[in-house]
């Protein structure tokens, strides 16, 4: 039987925090991510649990056989030049004279990783943009054009049918995330890696992705090793995550130092499961189209606000509305706009009412079937930034 180890490395004496983490690990165990680990912890005495919490250090780490710690590098302590040099050397050393594939979505994290990988491997890095039909309007073409200007060739891989088929009939948020994960990693990247003979996938996982997944809040689509899944065994390749010690504010600093233009390093975050994370209930081609249109309106309207992130969410429930004097049992769109530094906590931006009214007007006019528009005013926590 496999033996997984788990360590909680918290701040001295923070017993309550440790217990919270243990509860989260047990929750993961229930989902079969961490069977052996959680059993070992459950078997431990209270004293062991306290002891787990008295080691000083930053975060939870789980890796086969050995304790694994991810040490956070905050934006304040980051030396971007040194960080870039170290990561470039690491990538070169691990990949050797082989090749790697790089998953580029055009978000801040994956764009930064693409530049790092490009610096380390040059043409031995194959950057691909997976068109999963879940991206924003015009995104595939835009990302290719942005990177062409930076001297990086990006290939678009059409996987639209595969993703929509995997999402068909799924309404549970975690199952939806899992369907996206499996399609990305097992099917699409599994195939690309085999075709190319690469053994590595370079991707932009950051620390916030890891700790929300490990804590059982949301299964971020790109987190494996830290919850006990060995990508080599599961998918047939190794995943390299050069940004895993950073949070979003630090990634932006690295992105800028690597020569990304503000249009890329200042881009608002966009989740890996893309618009599937913004459709509550089943993510069909039609419902994705609806949220994509609403997203374009919201992003255009809020681009100048300086907010951390903003989005449109399509609800599952319908409500009675009226159009042209007739009843219309229509759809509801929720607008979210967040102020945040690093996505760990967030508060809704205090947008002028006129701006909200103007967005609502455009959505009701231009997005077929929508009869209700709301604005979220709950902070994270207890809300989260994405609705799914
Ligand atoms: P939540 O919704 O957990 O989001 O408050 C925190 C930040 O992470 C982004 N996010 C994701 N990013 N894969 C990602 O790469 C994911 O599965 C994912 N889910 C959420 C989200 O947009 C926000 O900035």
Ligand 1 close to Cβ of residue 386 (< 6 A): yes
| Spatial distance between the Cα atoms of 25 and 165, rounded to a whole number of angstroms | 31
Ligand 1 close to Cβ of residue 162 (< 6 A): no
Ligand 1 close to Cβ of residue 203 (< 6 A): no
How many helices (H) and strands (E) would you count in the chain? Answer: 15, 12
| Closest C-alpha to 75, from 194, 295, 250 | 250
Residue 219 alpha carbon, nearest atom of ligand 1: 17
- Per residue in 86-101, pLDDT (tens digit) is 999 999 999 999 999 9
Contact between 311 and 336 under an 8 Å Cβ cutoff? The reply is yes
Ligand 1 close to Cβ of residue 309 (< 6 A): yes
Residue 308 is encoded by which pair of tokens? Answer: 């951390």
Q: State the Rg of the chain over Cα.
A: 21
Residue 255 is encoded by which pair of tokens? Answer: 């992105």
Query: Distance from CA of residue 160 to its chain's centroid?
Result: 19
Q: Residue written as tokens 């059993």? A: 39
Among 215, 226, 269, 340, which residue has the most ligand 1 atoms within 8 Å of its CB, making it the best to mutate? 269
Residues in the chain: 388
- Per residue in 218-229, pLDDT (tens digit) is 777 788 876 667
Distance 271 CA to ligand 1 centre (A): 5
pLDDT at 11: 38
Ligand 1 close to Cβ of residue 271 (< 6 A): yes
In this structure, which residue's CA is closest to atom 12 in ligand 1?
Answer: 271
Ligand 1 close to Cβ of residue 221 (< 6 A): yes
In this structure, which residue's CA is closest to atom 24 in ligand 1?
Answer: 269
pLDDT at 224: 81
- How many CB atoms neighbour CB 24 within 10 A? 20
| Spatial distance between the Cα atoms of 177 and 273, rounded to a whole number of angstroms | 6
In this structure, which residue's CA is closest to atom 15 in ligand 1?
Answer: 272
Low-confidence ranges of the chain (pLDDT < 50): 1-16, 18, 28-67
Residues 6+ apart with CB under 8 A from 48: none
Distance 203 CA to ligand 1 centre (A): 15
Residue 135 is encoded by which pair of tokens? Answer: 């991206």
pLDDT at 223: 81
Residues 6+ apart with CB under 8 A from 278: 291, 295, 311, 312, 313, 314, 386, 387, 388
In this structure, which residue's CA is closest to atom 19 in ligand 1?
Answer: 271
Ligand 1 close to Cβ of residue 37 (< 6 A): no
Query: Distance from CA of residue 175 to its chain's centroid?
Result: 15
- How many CB atoms neighbour CB 294 within 10 A? 27
- How many CB atoms neighbour CB 382 within 10 A? 6
| Spatial distance between the Cα atoms of 388 and 386, rounded to a whole number of angstroms | 6
In this structure, which residue's CA is closest to atom 9 in ligand 1?
Answer: 271
- Three-class SS of residue 346? strand
pLDDT at 1: 26
């Amino acid at each position: 039987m496999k033996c997984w180890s788990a360590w909680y490395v918290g701040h001295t004496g923070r017993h309550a925090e440790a217990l919270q983490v243990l509860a989260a690990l047990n929750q993961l165990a229930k989902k079969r991510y961490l069977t052996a680990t959680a059993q070992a912890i459950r078997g431990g005495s209270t004293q062991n649990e306290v002891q787990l919490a008295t080691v000083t250090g930053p975060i939870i780490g789980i890796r086969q056989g050995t304790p694994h710690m991810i040490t956070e590098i905050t934006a304040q302590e980051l030396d971007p030049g040194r960080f870039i040099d170290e990561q470039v050397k690491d990538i070169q050393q691990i990949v050797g004279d082989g090749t790697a594939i790089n998953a580029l979505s055009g978000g801040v994290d994956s764009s930064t990783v693409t530049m790092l990988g490009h610096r380390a491997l040059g043409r031995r890095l194959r950057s691909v943009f997976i068109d999963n039909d879940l991206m924003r309007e015009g995104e595939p073409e835009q990302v290719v054009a942005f990177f062409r200007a930076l001297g990086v060739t990006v290939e678009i891989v059409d996987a639209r049918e595969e993703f929509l088929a995997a999402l068909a009939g799924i309404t549970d948020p975690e199952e939806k995330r899992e369907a996206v994960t499996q399609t990305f990693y097992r099917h699409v990247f599994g195939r690309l890696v085999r075709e190319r003979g690469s053994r590595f996938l370079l991707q932009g996982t950051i620390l916030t992705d890891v700790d929300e997944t490990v804590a059982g809040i949301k299964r971020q689509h790109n987190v494996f090793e830290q919850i006990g899944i060995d990508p080599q065994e599961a998918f047939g390749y190794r995943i390299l995550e050069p940004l895993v010690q950073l949070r979003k504010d630090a990634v932006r600093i690295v992105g800028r130092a690597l020569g990304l233009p503000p249009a890329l390093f200042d881009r608002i975050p966009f989740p890996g499961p893309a618009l599937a994370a913004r459709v509550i209930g089943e993510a069909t081609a039609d419902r994705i189209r609806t949220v994509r249109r609403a997203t374009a309106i919201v992003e255009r309207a809020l681009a100048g606000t300086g907010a951390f992130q903003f989005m449109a969410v399509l609800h599952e429930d319908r409500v009675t509305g009226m159009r042209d004097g007739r009843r219309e049992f229509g759809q509801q769109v929720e607008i979210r706009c967040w102020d945040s530094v690093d996505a760990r906590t967030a508060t809704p931006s205090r947008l002028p009412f006129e701006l909200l009214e103007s967005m609502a007007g455009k959505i009701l006019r231009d997005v077929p079937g929508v009869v209700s528009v709301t604005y979220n005013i709950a902070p994270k926590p207890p809300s989260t930034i994405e609705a799914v």
